[in-house]
Amino acid sequence: MKLKTQIVDMDTGGVQKILLNPVDITHLAMFAGERVLLKYKKLETVAIAESTSLVEQGNVGILDEVKKELGVTEGGFVEVTSDVKPTSILAIRKKMDGFPLKEEEIKAIVDDLVTGRLLDIDVAAFLVSEQILGLSLEETVHLTRAITERGEQLDFGTNVFDKHSIGGVPGNKVSLLIVPIVAAAGLLIPKTSSRAITSPSGTADTMEVLANVEFTVDELQEIVSKSNAAIVWGGALNLAPADDLFIRVEHPLQIDPRPQMIASIMAKKMSTGIQHLVLDIPTGQGCKVTTMEEARKLSHDFITVGNELDINVHCAMTYGSQPVGHAIGPALEAKEAMEALMGRGPTSLIEKSTGLAGILLEMGGLAVRGGGRKLAKDILASGKALEKMREIIEAQNGNPKITPKELPVGEQTYDLQAPSDGYVATLSNRALVRIARAAGTPKVHGAGLYLHAKVGSRVKEGESVLTIYSESEGKLSDAINVAKNLMPFTVEGMLLHTMTDTEQF
């Protein structure tokens, strides 16, 4: 049935809906609340049809999400048909009932997701099933391949290297050291990174302070041919678009199913033609992975899936109970990374970066087992990594002569002070993330945090432990309130709370 479009300015909270006159719903032999298939020019999508007499017979009310999906305009014509449930719905129900999925069933889910035949509620059902019931490693391999096949696939040749982290630790700007170290040694490392979803800064956000990170596939190929490396945002390359659609639903649900995380990471590595991968698994209190036993299990799964996909995976379980270095937030992290490349960065950042880079150098046959860290440190100390980083920055249309002092940070600041003499006993990663995001990260590059003291540091009463940076008084005020409520650090001997007999539990 062809219906005339009527644009309705209404936000549906991410749910694809249309409005139909009750007479048209009857003619379509369906009920309100059922799904319909919409075709406009060469595009199609699925939406839920709601009944209302506010829309005249012969018209279709197009709400925000469908308007974005199809690009429809007022007064156009859309083909509307009752949508027979795709086979992927049956596959999702099968997984909800606890049964394993075949390769073709998983492929159908991914295909229907990318073509718009699945609604967010369908995707949520699949993800929650993964969260509760899990996927076998065989199913995870099938999911990885299906996600990869639905996007661009790059080819940089043989012996392509990469580093990736499962995330969860603020201030983890190690890729800005690892990439130039490894490239300076002669290995090919085209690093495609993500922007922050829930963290204060993703690698792409931090690199964007120094250079452009959004390129086409052809432009990326040219950058890598010049510098043997790149640090770019993968989202601009149409790599594994199904993964972005899964993440869109994961985010409001605040879940990250392990099989989905493995498939997400490995699909993006397959899409960029990676053959050798070092995977950083931060472990400890406040991390995604809290115990070494859990980290070993996850490492086993990544390595097994990697073997099936012809990717050589080495997993590094790293200390993750507090931030890497002292800076959190795009500009502050970029400053700290550049300072480390210039030989004056914090020990935790240099040690972690050279340790992970060293593993890649060993995988590339440039160092014997156990000798990679020393070679990485030598490359860093020689200035070759800094020179390579400046080359990468220039290739990505940045200023290769930029210095750390020239990188602007928020002018609005506030110091959180030690309430007593003693040693810093704890730092909360989660609290630090929430404070930084309240200050404006990652969208506001100059916002963030700087830690003057970390766990084990001695402080005196009144000394600054943490400085909050923001670019507006309002955001700074928000961050201060979050900091005071969450108490991001504790000092030995400090009073944590006082309670009176009138206070309620």
Nearest to residue 209, comparing CAs of 233, 235, 179, 238?
Answer: 233
Same domain, 217 and 359: yes
Number of structural domains found in the chain: 4
In this structure, what token pair is assigned to residue 425? 């006993």
243-257 burial code (b ≥16 CB/10 A, e <16): bbbbeebbeeeeebb
Nearest to residue 39, comparing CAs of 66, 64, 14?
Answer: 66
Residue 449 lies inside a defined structural domain of this protein: yes
Same domain, 173 and 320: yes
Provide mean pLDDT across the span 421-450: 96
Same domain, 358 and 430: no
H or E segment and range at residue 483? helix 473-486
Residue 368 lies inside a defined structural domain of this protein: yes
Residue 153 lies inside a defined structural domain of this protein: no
Q: Is the pLDDT of residue 505 over 60?
A: no
Same domain, 215 and 321: yes
In this prediction, residue 396 has a pLDDT band, given cuts at 50, 70 and 90, of very high
Q: Is the pLDDT of residue 390 over 70?
A: yes
Same domain, 253 and 346: yes
Same domain, 271 and 384: yes
- Is the distance from CB of 475 to CB of 438 less than 8 angstroms? yes
Q: How far apart are CA 438 and CA 475, in angstroms?
A: 6
Q: Chain centroid to CA 492: how far? A: 35
What is the percent of the chain with per-residue pLDDT over 70, rounded to a whole number?
98
Residue 305 lies inside a defined structural domain of this protein: yes
Residue 98 sits in a domain of what CATH number?
Answer: 1.20.970.10
Residue 402 lies inside a defined structural domain of this protein: no
Task: Say how many CA atoms lie within 13 Å of 82 toward its Cβ.
Answer: 12
Same domain, 433 and 381: no
Residue 407 lies inside a defined structural domain of this protein: no
Residues in the chain: 505
Residue 66 sits in a domain of what CATH number?
Answer: 2.40.40.20
Residue 348 lies inside a defined structural domain of this protein: yes
Same domain, 19 and 73: yes
What is the percent of the chain with per-residue pLDDT over 90, rounded to a whole number?
78
Q: Is the pLDDT of residue 496 over 90?
A: no
Residue 121: its pLDDT value, please? Answer: 87
Instruction: Assess whether 378 carries a catalytic annotation.
Output: no
Q: How far apart are CA 127 and CA 96, in angstroms?
A: 10
Q: Is the pLDDT of residue 63 over 60?
A: yes
Answer yes or no: pTM beyond 0.85. Answer: yes
**3-class secondary structure, 76:** coil
Average pLDDT, rounded, for the chain: 93
Q: Residue ranges of the alpha helices (H) in 342-454?
A: 347-363, 372-382, 384-395, 429-439
Same domain, 381 and 417: no
Same domain, 326 and 291: yes
Residue 273, domain extent: 161-395
Same domain, 357 and 327: yes
Q: Is the pLDDT of residue 168 over 90?
A: no
50-72 burial code (b ≥16 CB/10 A, e <16): bbeeebeeebbbbbbbbbebbeb
Tokens 């800064």 correspond to 201
Question: 111, 122, 205, 256: which one is catalytic?
Answer: 256
Q: Is the pLDDT of residue 463 over 70?
A: yes
Query: Of 82, 97, 124, at which residue does a domain stop?
Result: 82
- Is the distance from CB of 343 to CB of 307 less than 8 angstroms? no
Residue 483 sits in a domain of what CATH number?
Answer: 3.90.1170.30
Distances (CA, A) of 316 to 174, 216, 249, 288, 485: 13, 31, 29, 15, 34
Q: Is the pLDDT of residue 503 over 70?
A: no
Residue 504 lies inside a defined structural domain of this protein: no
Q: How far apart are CA 504 and CA 460, in angstroms?
A: 33
Same domain, 375 and 350: yes
